[in-house]
A and B are shown apart, each in its own frame.
Chain A
Amino acid sequence: MTLVLKKLLFPFISLLVFLAIWQVAAGRYTPEQFPAPTDVLKAIRELADSGVLWSHIGISMARFSTAYLLAVAVAIPLGLFLGSFNRCHAAIDPLIQVLRPISPIAWFPLAVLWFGIGNAPAIFIIFLAAFYPVLLTTISAVRAVPPVYLKVATNFGAGSRMTFLRVIVPAAFPGIMVGLHIAVGTAWIHLVAGEMLGAQSGLGFMIVDARNFLRTDQIMAGMLLVGLLGLIIYRGMKAVERIVGRAWGIAA
Chain B
Amino acid sequence: MSGAGVAKIQFSGVEKSFTSARGDVQTAVSRLDLDIQAGEFVCLVGPSGCGKTTLINLMAGFEKPSAGSVFIDGRAVTAPDPDHIMIFQDYGLYPWRSVLGNVLFGLQARGVSPAEAKEKALAALELVGLLPAVDKHPHELSGGMKQRVSIARALAVEPSVLFMDEPFAALDAFTRLHLQDELLRIWKEKQPTVVFVTHDLDEAIALGQKIVLMAPNPGRVQRVLEVKLPYPRERTDGNFAVFRKELFEEFHLVHQQAHEASEYVI
Interface residues of A (CB under 8 A from B): 146, 148-149, 151-159, 162, 166-167, 170-171, 173, 247-251
Contact = CB atoms under 8 A, between A and B. Distances in A.
Q: Is the interface of B mostly helix, strand, loop or mixed?
A: loop
B95 A155 contact: no
Interface stretch (B106-114, B115-123, B217-225): B106-114
Contacts of B140: 249
Contact of B88 (A148, A153, A157, A170): A148
B96 A155 contact: no
Contact of A158 (B60, B95, B109, B139): B109
Given A149-B92, A156-B85, A249-B97, 19 more contacts: A146-B92, A148-B92, A154-B79, A154-B80, A155-B60, A155-B80, A155-B82, A156-B105, A156-B110, A157-B80, A157-B110, A158-B105, A158-B109, A170-B94, A171-B94, A171-B96, A249-B138, A250-B139, A251-B139
B85 A170 contact: no
A249 B109 contact: no
B96 A152 contact: no
- Indicate the size class of the contact surface on chain B: 20 to 34
Contacts of B84: 155
A107 B251 CA distance: 69
A156 B139 contact: no
B57 to A, nearest CB: 10
Given A155-B60, A156-B105, A249-B137, A149 B96 contact: no
Interface string B73-105: 000000111101110101010111110000001
Contact of A156 (B60, B90, B157): B157
B62, B85, B95, B108: residue with the most chain A Cβ atoms closer than 10 Å: B95
Interface of B: 60, 62, 79-82, 84-86, 88, 90, 92, 94-98, 105-106, 108-110, 137-140, 157
Given A249-B95, A250-B95, A162 B108 contact: yes
A170 B96 contact: yes
A7 to B, nearest CB: 26
Contacts of B79: 154
B96 A248 contact: yes
A150 to B, nearest CB: 9
A156 B97 CA distance: 16
A170 B95 CA distance: 9
Contacts of A155: 60, 80-82, 84-86
A157 B138 contact: no
A248 B92 contact: no
A162 B86 contact: no
Given A249-B97, A249-B138, A156 B92 contact: no
19 contacts: A146-B92, A148-B90, A149-B92, A151-B86, A155-B80, A155-B81, A155-B82, A155-B85, A155-B86, A156-B82, A156-B109, A157-B82, A157-B110, A162-B108, A162-B109, A171-B94, A248-B95, A249-B137, A249-B139
A162 B82 CA distance: 15
Nearest to A148: B92
A90 B81 CA distance: 31
A249 B110 contact: no
Nearest to A251: B139
